[in-house]
Amino acid sequence: MKIYIGSDHAGFELKEILKKHFCAAKEFEDFGTFSNESVDYPDFAHKVAESVVTDPENIGILICGTGNGMAITANKHPNVRAALCWSPEISTLAKQHNNANILVLPARFIDTELAIKTVESFFNAEFEGGRHQNRINKIDLQ
């Protein structure tokens, strides 16, 4: 499984830490940003979301200061279910119940250890289907 990843300047350091931590087990395609210089988060959210839509066997990770801007932007794309998560329990449920295909992290509100555990939980969770699929079928307006 490939991981499409992107961040703005507020999420840059956490993005780099996550890539380094998981590089032995996961393949990443990094859409930037590549420094702490101020950038516009939608530029990176759109790239990751478009990649997940085009290649639905893979998932995405987006990181910004609060996570809200990335989640709002990514969720504008049909068939994207970007979930803002700040704990392993929430990321597990986002995958199990919502079949989230993009994990969004709030870099300014989560420490490194908790972020790693949250990502691990997201990677390890499986969509449960059933009644949850019925609900997911009602999300997109198209």
- For the annotated catalytic residues, the residue numbers are 64, 97
DSSP assignment string, 30-53: E----SSS---HHHHHHHHHHHHH
40-64 burial: b if 16+ Cβ within 10 Å, else e: ebbebbbbbbbbbeeeeeebbbbbb
DSSP code of residue 86: S
Q: Length of the chain, please?
A: 142
3-state secondary structure of 5: strand
In whole angstroms, what is the distance from residue 119 CA to residue 91 CA?
7
The answer to whether the beta carbons of residues 82 and 102 sit under 8 Å apart is yes
